[in-house]
Amino acid sequence: MADVLPLRLWRRFLALPLESRPKTLAVAFAVSAVCAALVTGATVILRPIQEANRAAETQLRLEALLSAIPGMEQIMAEAGGDVLSAVVVDLDAGRAADDVTPATIEAALGEAANWTALTPEQDVAMIGRRPDLAQVFLLRDAAGDIALVVLPVFGAGYNGTIRAMLALHGDMNTIAGVAVTDQSETPGLGARIEEPAWQAGFAGKRVADEAGRIRFAVASGPAAGPHEVDGITGATRTSNAITRIVRFWMGPDGYGPLIDAIRRGEF
């Protein structure tokens, strides 16, 4: 009897009119369950491929950035030809994160606990909240000292978020180069921040003055000092956004603790 009852119920269900509510709901539920299973399976299968693609894209951008840095060949030669090493840092502590690696940082940043809300006074880059973890890239020379650091930075632009990678020489004050990796600024105006000719103007510029005050700025016209890069005609808001982004991330609420630790030889 127990074996027959499910069969009877199934036949009774199949006999229901197509427009009946129970049958409609049951079919909709079954289709949803199958679709959810397929999507979940596809996500699990494709995740390693997506992560590999992101890693390859990041590496290509890093290589493009490094190739544009004056004297990079000499820096690499002095470092023994080693490539950049990726390290996840705790931004508040200014040191390597204890339990997060480049392979797990994306999952870690999916947790709200690993983000810090910024006050209006702190939020120079207009990002609302700052990740507590960041993956940075280091190049050490033959003596083991840091010769180059590549820092991911982001902030609000005129039309959306601007993301870039900023490279600093070992003194942690001289800019080696910059590569804008994502932007949605106005074509022909603010979008010119992706042009290699404009990005080349960052090389050799200094972030802070001798007193430690952050002075970097995108000028309103031609650069007029060691802390300025040329402005972009007709793109004042984008230029101001780049100034704010660099100043925030080089300051105490960004990579400041890491920069101080590297200068003290603790990293």
* 23 and 88 share one domain: no
The Cα-based distances of 143 to 70, 79, 136 in angstroms read 21, 8, 20
pLDDT category at 242 given cuts 50, 70, 90 is very high
| Helix count and strand count (H, E) for the chain | 7, 10
Any domain includes 57: no
Task: Give dist(CA 36, CA 155) in Å, integer.
Answer: 35
Please state the φ and ψ torsions of residue 139, each to the nearest 5 degrees.
Answer: -125, 125
| Structure-token match 């390859």, residue found | 56
**To which residue do tokens 């230029």 refer?**
239
Neighbours of 23 (CB within 10 A): 15
Q: What is the band of 263 on the pLDDT scale with cuts at 50, 70, 90? A: very high
Q: Are residues 142 and 84 in the same domain?
A: yes
Residues 90 and 146 in one domain: yes
pLDDT in tens, 63-85: 766 666 656 666 666 666 556 78
Q: Are residues 111 and 240 in the same domain?
A: yes
Amino acid letter, 248:
F
* SS3 letters across 131-200: ECEEEEEEEECCCCCEEEEEEEEEEECCCCEEEEEEEEECCCCEEEEEEEEECCCCCCCHHHHHCHHHHH
Name residues whose C-beta falls within 8 Å of residue 183's C-beta, 6 or more positions apart in sequence: 157, 160, 161, 162, 163, 190, 191, 193, 194
Q: Vertex 125, ends 120 and 130: CA angle to 5°? A: 80
Judgement on whether residues 106 and 170 belong to the same structural domain of the protein:
yes
For tokens 């910024």, what's the residue?
A: 118
Instruction: Dump pLDDT digits (tens) for 212-240.
Output: 999 999 999 999 999 999 999 999 999 99
Could you tell me if 178 and 238 lie in one domain? yes
Residue 109 has pLDDT above 90, yes or no: yes
Range of 112's domain?
72-263
Q: pTM of this prediction? A: 0.76
Q: Does residue 221 lie within any of the structural domains?
A: yes
**Is 56 part of a structural domain of the chain?**
no
How many domains does the chain fold into?
A: 2
| Token representation of residue 38 | 């397929």
| Residue-level length of the chain | 267
Mean pLDDT value across residues 140-169: 92
61, part of any domain? no
Whether residues 84 and 211 share a domain: the answer is: yes
Quick one: 136 and 220 in the same domain?
yes
Rounded average pLDDT over 108-122 = 96
Q: Is the domain of 23 the same as that of 97?
A: no
Asked whether residue 151 falls in the same domain as residue 187, the answer is: yes
- Looking at the structure, tell me whether residues 113 and 200 fall in a common domain: yes
Six-digit token pair at 226?
């060691």
Same domain? 142 vs 204: yes
